[in-house]
Amino acid sequence: MEKPIHMEYLLNELANIKVRNERQRRMRLDVPSKELPAVLELLKGRAGFMHLSAISCVDWIDENQFELVYHLWSNQVSTLVSAHTRIERDPGVYLSVYDLYKPAAFWERDIHEMYGVFFEGSPDMEKFILTEWDGPPPMRKEFDSEAWVNDHFDWQNYRPDWLQEIEQEGGGIAILPDEQRFSRKAEE
């Protein structure tokens, strides 16, 4: 199957889109957030990208932005298009694409739960998997998972009495967990 040529003409109709052919059958679009719904409508309505594989979210905390990635697949031309867009981290509200792609409801609900991004027009923004979680959205970069773990759990005793006998004979744990935790390494 040939690489889709005509799709690029299609995308040229819209301004402000950066198209990058990463590989054959893999295309990356960088779209301003205002134009993303129009691009998705164009791709679905005129290029046959019927399948929304996933919406993923990246937290760029230093730039104060969330990056949303819409992965679209076309069975006709067997091509995966990833449409990247950036939204402001505060207040973190964006438009739902539920009217175009019904499965978007699940992805948006998931992103709302994990990152706290609110999607206007999405049918259900209730808890999805973390139904018994009342902390902050855990996938945001400012959420310190290790601090939460330290607050809520005790670590296993790595120097029990029965192990000390083994240690005297030269056995035991080779690298203690304290020495291999990433965050503590970074502090040094």
Partner 1 sequence: MKEFPVPVQTAEDPSVKKQSGNIFSNVFDELVRFAQSRSLFMLHYCTGCGAIELPPAMTSRFDMERLGIQPMVTPRQADILLITGYVSVKTLKRVILTYEQMNAPKYVIGICSCTVNGGMYWQSYATAKKLNDYMPVDLYIAGCMPRPEAVISGLRQLMEKIKIGEANSWQDYFKRYDYYLGNQQRLFGETWQTPTDIIGESKHYSLHTPETEGEHTRLLELHQRPLEPLEMRLGLSEKTEDR
Residues making contact with partner 1 (CB under 8 A): 130-133, 135, 138, 143, 145-146, 148-149, 152-156, 158, 177, 181
Q: Please, what is the end-to-end C-alpha distance for the chain in angstroms?
A: 54
Instruction: In angstroms, give the least distance from the CB of 167 to partner 1.
Output: 17
Residue with Cβ nearer partner 1 (2 or 161):
161
Q: Give me the least distance between CB of 64 and partner 1, in Å please.
A: 24
Other beta carbons less than 10 A from residue 71's beta carbon:
16
**Min dist. Cβ of residue 176 to partner 1 (A):** 12
Considering the complex, state which of residue 45 and residue 148 has its C-beta at the smaller distance from partner 1. Answer: 148
Q: How crowded is residue 176: how many other Cβ atoms within 10 Å of its Cβ?
A: 11
C-beta separation of 122 from 101 below 8 A: no
CB of 183 to partner 1, least distance (A): 8
* 70-72-119 Cα angle (round to 5): 35
User: In whole angstroms, what is the distance from residue 105 CA to residue 97 CA?
Assistant: 8
